[in-house]
C-alpha cells in the first residue's frame, strides 16, 4: 500500500529520493519482471510472449500505462516499465526550469460519489494504511532545465523493453505568440532525446478552467502547426480537459483530428479544496482551486471517451483515444475500452497499486480466451 510517489514528501524530495515501495525494489533487479504480456507462462527474466497489441502502430504488450504526472524521472519510469506498465509518460517538461508549488501537493479528498460542478471538497493528509479514493494534484507543472531532463529522458527511454513505449509530455510557457513558439521549442527538445511519441499538454489545471488552451481551437491549431513545423516525424498526442460543451469539442476535433495522431483525456477536474475548518487546504496564493484525480472524476473521463469516439466515427477520422481518470481496477479499464478507448492509463490507481498493470493484463488475456 505504500505509494511509489510519497505524498508526505515535497516534489523535490520525491524527485531526488524516489520512487518508493515496490517501485524502489524493482530498480535493484537486473531485468524488468513485468515487461511481457499475459502473466501466465513467464520466461526467464520475466520476459514473456511477443507483443499482442498496438499503440499508434507500435507493437506493445499492452495498451495500458501511466499518464503524465507521477513518473518524475528515469528511475520512476524504469520501475513502471518493470511492473508492466507498457505505456509510460515522462512527467511534463518545459523549455526552462520551473519550480513546483510548495508542499503539500497531494492530499486525500472526501468525495464518495461523482465530483459535481462548483463542489467544495474537504482535504486532509493521505493516511499510511488507507488508499485514497481521490486526491489533489497541485504541483504547478514543475520542470528541470533541459540540460537535466533531456539526459534523464534519454535514460528513461533506454529502460523501455521490447513492447514498451515512452511518451514525452511537454508544455509551452509565456503568452500569445511567444507561448506558441515555446510549445514548438519544447517539442523539439523532447524529440531530440529520441522519444518515439510526443504529448502536448493543452489542459494544465493551474491555468484556470476558462484559460485552458484546449478550449481555444484557434490557438490550439496554431500550436499544433508550430509543433509540426519543428517536429514532423513523430506521432503527436494532445492532452485535453473535460469538455462540457460538446459543440466546442466537435470544433476542436474537426480542426485537429486530422493533424494529430490522438487525443488524451482527461486531465484533472478542478474543485475548491478546504481543510476541516473550512480554510484553504493548500498554502499559497491561487491554490484554493486544485486539480482532482481519482475515482470521483471517472464519470468525466468515460463521458469524454464516449464523445471522442462518437466524433471520430461521425467525422470518419482515425485518431487514437488515450483515456484516463479514476482507473483503479481491471473493471475500470474494461469500461473505458468498451467506451472506445484505444489505450487506458492510471495515475492515482497505479500509485497505490503497483500491481495494477499485471492485474489488468490478466483480465485482458482472460477476455481473449
Q: What is the pLDDT along the chain (369 residues), one digit of tens a residue?
A: 799 999 999 999 999 999 999 999 988 765 445 566 676 544 333 445 789 999 999 999 999 999 999 999 999 999 999 999 999 999 999 999 999 999 999 999 999 899 998 899 999 999 988 999 999 999 999 999 999 999 999 999 999 999 999 999 999 999 999 999 999 999 999 999 999 999 999 997 655 555 799 999 999 999 999 999 999 999 999 999 999 999 999 999 999 999 999 999 999 999 999 999 999 999 998 899 999 999 999 999 999 999 999 999 999 999 999 999 999 999 999 999 999 999 999 999 999 999 999 999 999 987 765
What phi, psi does 247 have (nearest 5°)? -65, -35
Q: Going by C-beta distance under 8 Å and a sequence separation of 6 or more, which residues neighbour residue 307? A: 243, 246, 249
Check: CB of residue 343 under 8 Å from CB of residue 285: no
Closest CA to 231 of 186, 275, 294, 166: 186
Strands (DSSP E) along 244-360, which ranges? 262-265, 269-274, 289-294, 320-324, 343-345
What phi, psi does 168 have (nearest 5°)? -100, 115
Check: CB of residue 110 under 8 Å from CB of residue 77: no
Average pLDDT, the chain: 93
What is the pLDDT at residue 142?
A: 97
Cα 75 to chain centroid, rounded = 17
Q: Which residue has the cell 483480465?
A: 363
Domain boundaries, the chain: 31-107+141-268+295-368
What is the pLDDT at residue 40?
A: 57
CA distance 277 to 306: 39
CA distance 269 to 10: 22
Pairing mode, strands 289-294 and 320-324:
unpaired
Check: CB of residue 359 under 8 Å from CB of residue 330: yes
Q: Domain 31-107+141-268+295-368: give its CATH superfamily.
A: Aldolase class I (3.20.20.70)
Cα 361 to chain centroid, rounded = 19
DSSP codes joined into one string, 234-257: S-EEEEE---S-HHHHHHHHHHHT
Closest CA to 287 of 302, 276, 271, 300: 271
DSSP for residue 53: E
What is the pLDDT at residue 29?
A: 64
Q: Going by C-beta distance under 8 Å and a sequence separation of 6 or more, which residues neighbour residue 17? A: 9
Q: What is the distance in angstroms between the CA of the first residue and the CA of the last residue of the chain? A: 31
CA distance 36 to 47: 5
88 exposure class (CB count in 10 Å sphere: 0-12, 13-18, 19+)? buried
What is the pLDDT at residue 355?
A: 96
Cα 264 to chain centroid, rounded = 8
CA distance 165 to 343: 12
Helices 298-314 and 246-256 pack at an angle, to 10 degrees, of 50
Amino acid at each position: 500500500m505504500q505509494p511509489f510517489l510519497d505524498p508526505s514528501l515535497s516534489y523535490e524530495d520525491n524527485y531526488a529520493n524516489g520512487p518508493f515501495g515496490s517501485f524502489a525494489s524493482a530498480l535493484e533487479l537486473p531485468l524488468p519482471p513485468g515487461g511481457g504480456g499475459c502473466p501466465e507462462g513467464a520466461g526467464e527474466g520475466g520476459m514473456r510472449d511477443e507483443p499482442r497489441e498496438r499503440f499508434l502502430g507500435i507493437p506493445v504488450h499492452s495498451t495500458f500505462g501511466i499518464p503524465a504526472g507521477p513518473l518524475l524521472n528515469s528511475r520512476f519510469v524504469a520501475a513502471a516499465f518493470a511492473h508492466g506498465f507498457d505505456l509510460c509518460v515522462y512527467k511534463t517538461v518545459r523549455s526552462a526550469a520551473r519550480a513546483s508549488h510548495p508542499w503539500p501537493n497531494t492530499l486525500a479528498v472526501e468525495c464518495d460519489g461523482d465530483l459535481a460542478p462548483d463542489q467544495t471538497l474537504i482535504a486532509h493528509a493521505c493516511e499510511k494504511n488507507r488508499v485514497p479514493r481521490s486526491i489533489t494534484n497541485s504541483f504547478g507543472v514543475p520542470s528541470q532545465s533541459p540540460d537535466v531532463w533531456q539526459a534523464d529522458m534519454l535514460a528513461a527511454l533506454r529502460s523501455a523493453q521490447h513492447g514498451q513505449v515512452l511518451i514525452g509530455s511537454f508544455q509551452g510557457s509565456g503568452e500569445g505568440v511567444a507561448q506558441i513558439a515555446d510549445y514548438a521549442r519544447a517539442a523539439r527538445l523532447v524529440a531530440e532525446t529520441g522519444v518515439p511519441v510526443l504529448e502536448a499538454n493543452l489542459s494544465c489545471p493551474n491555468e484556470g478552467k476558462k484559460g485552458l488552451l484546449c478550449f481555444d481551437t484557434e490557438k490550439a491549431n496554431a500550436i499544433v502547426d508550430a509543433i509540426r513545423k519543428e517536429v514532423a516525424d513523430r506521432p503527436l498526442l494532445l492532452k485535453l480537459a473535460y469538455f462540457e460543451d460538446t459543440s466546442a469539442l466537435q470544433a476542436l476535433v474537426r480542426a485537429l483530428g486530422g493533424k494529430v495522431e490522438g487525443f488524451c483525456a482527461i486531465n484533472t477536474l478542478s474543485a475548491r479544496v478546504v481543510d476541516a475548518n473550512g480554510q484553504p487546504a493548500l498554502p499559497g496564493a491561487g491554490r484554493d482551486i486544485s486539480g482532482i484525480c481519482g475515482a470521483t472524476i471517472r464519470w468525466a473521463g468515460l463521458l469524454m471517451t464516449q464523445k471522442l469516439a462518437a466524433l471520430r466515427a461521425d467525422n470518419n477520422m482515425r485518431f487514437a483515444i488515450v483515456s484516463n481518470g479514476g482507473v483503479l481496477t481491471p473493471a475500470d479499464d474494461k469500461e473505458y475500452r468498451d467506451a472506445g478507448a484505444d489505450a487506458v492509463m492510471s495515475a492515482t490507481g497505479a500509485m497505490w497499486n503497483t500491481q495494477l498493470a499485471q492485474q489488468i493484463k490478466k483480465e485482458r488475456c482472460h477476455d481473449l480466451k
